[in-house]
Chains A and B, each alone.
Chain A
Amino acid sequence: MADREQAEHGATTDVHPGSAPQAVGPPLLVLRGVDKHFGELHVLQDVDLTVGKGEVVVVLGPSGSGKSTLCRVINRLETIGSGSITIDGQELPEEGKGLAQLRADVGMVFQSFNLFAHKTVLENVTLGPMKVRKVPASQARERARELLRRVGVESQADKYPAQLSGGQQQRVAIARALAMEPKIILFDEPTSALDPEMVTEVLDVMVSLARAGMTMVVVTHEMGFARRAANRVVFMADGKVVEEGDPESFFTAPRTARAQDFLSKILTH
């Protein structure tokens, strides 16, 4: 038990609340004029977004605004109608080997965790490195244990996902994404399916990643996270990017009526 306590604290040791976010490097992810329809519904309308290396972008917006879809088109879990998406200067390839390779470089953390239910926690983390990166098993396991320690669930390594709490599962999912040593990690509402008392443990891990210079696109409603860790907030409504800016000015003085309305609804309680 003492081990676990320490491990869980270990996950947050490199967090310095209030310290400035990492400097933003050259563009890593560029979306240009991205359009997408779900049948009649125009979910993404001419979306432009540039995310620099080491930048943490939080995407906010009312439900149905297209923010999750935005997250999912970046690694082509959803296809786009028109426009272009480039990652590290490379256009998103069509379905096939190239796309698989690119996805290996783009981590993804889902709202519902999606850990492989038939594999242990450790196997969940080693699968990608072993099958995609061809890392030898012993090396992959060693690295996986290190990552599990970093997110504070090392003691659960041999359990199955269903035996873990939601917060632990989500931290394993983050470790699984990290194991691929991605250039960027996408978070699709990572805390929305969690019990309130488990939200912090996941956010702490995410903040520590942000501080460590990971490039992140985070779809979330967690204002606290946005203020602590984001370089930029992107506000979406009806499939469009309505407003963007640094977190402090966005939350204290939103410019558009749509954003003011949204913030008044979520901040009054």
Chain B
Amino acid sequence: MDAITTLLQNYDVPAAFWMTVKLTVLSAIGALVLGTVVAVCRVSPVGVLRGFGTAYVTLVRNTPLTLIVFFCAFGLLNTLNLSLASAGSPTEVIDNNFRYGVVALSVYHASFVAEALRSGINTVPQGQAEAARAIGLGFGASLREVILPQAFRGAVAPLGNTLIALTKNTTVVATIGVAELAYLMRGMIEFNPSLLYAIFLLVAACFVLLTLPTGLLFTALSRRLVVQR
């Protein structure tokens, strides 16, 4: 217990924790939006869009996250100089790393969101789409009003799993210098090797604090939101 107190006194654990939360929340929003677009592409009547959706999922889902993160940091930022932060600002480097971290996490997890959503769409009976079309709703309106609301409800549980995976995967962006929990952990281990187990315990507890409620929440939601047929 003393060890934990020492660590909490010497390191800004709440700041790292907050960084992990920010990465998780922003990437989750990004992944949800992008993943929805990809899922809609996969079920669209336009062949080109379906092809794009399938290609996206196949390509991104089978690529290691680390590779995507490095591609963003070294490929897009350092080599192509595509900056996401205002030039010359004192926090330019930190901002760029953080924003590219969010981009990489969003892009990667969007493929999982798309797959979860597609499985949700598959739970919606064909007749729902036919009824929507029969009252004169177009493709977009049918999706918006009838298919997607039911698909999201059917996909709550797998979306929860994706969110938990995303929370833990934020540790990968420590590699490009985003000061989240894993980054902090590396620093702590380097300078306090004798407190190794306490450090592991502390960081693990921080993640459990995030993922456990997420899991409980999504299980409860999936029960509450289930569509009665």
Contact call A117/B136, Cβ cutoff below 8 A? no
- Answer yes or no: A79 CB below 8 A from chain B CBs: no
- Answer yes or no: B134 CB below 8 A from chain A CBs: yes
> How far does the Cβ of B144 sit from chain A's closest Cβ, in whole Å?
9
Q: Find residues 93-136 in chain B having any chain A CB closer than 8 Å to their own CB.
A: 125, 127-128, 130-136
Chain A 93-117, CB within 8 Å of chain B: the 1/0 string?
Answer: 0011100111111111010101111
Which of A50-58, A61-69, A127-135 lies at the interface? A127-135
Interface size on B, residues (CB 8 A): 22
Contact call A110/B130, Cβ cutoff below 8 A? yes
Which of B75-83, B146-154, B214-222 lies at the interface? B146-154
Most buried by A among B125, B128, B134, B137: B134
- Answer yes or no: B64 CB below 8 A from chain A CBs: no
Please, how many angstroms separate the alpha-carbon atoms of A62 and B161 in the complex? 49
Please, how many angstroms separate the alpha-carbon atoms of A96 and B135 in the complex? 14
Interface size on A, residues (CB 8 A): 33
Please, how many angstroms separate the alpha-carbon atoms of A127 and B128 in the complex? 13
Determine the residue in chain A with the shortest Cβ distance to B124.
A117
Known: A117-B228, A131-B145. A180 touches B136 (CB 8 A): yes
Contacts of B153 in A (CB 8 A): 118
> How far does the Cβ of A40 sit from chain B's closest Cβ, in whole Å?
22
Contact call B136/A104, Cβ cutoff below 8 A? yes
Please, how many angstroms separate the alpha-carbon atoms of A128 and B136 in the complex? 7
Contact call A103/B134, Cβ cutoff below 8 A? yes
Please, how many angstroms separate the alpha-carbon atoms of A102 and B137 in the complex? 10
> How far does the Cβ of A57 sit from chain B's closest Cβ, in whole Å?
19
Contact call B138/A97, Cβ cutoff below 8 A? yes
> How far does the Cβ of B219 sit from chain A's closest Cβ, in whole Å?
20
Additional pairs, 18, CB under 8 Å, beyond known A108-B134, A177-B134: A100-B136, A102-B136, A103-B133, A103-B134, A104-B136, A106-B134, A107-B134, A110-B131, A114-B125, A116-B145, A117-B229, A127-B135, A128-B135, A131-B137, A131-B141, A162-B228, A176-B135, A177-B135
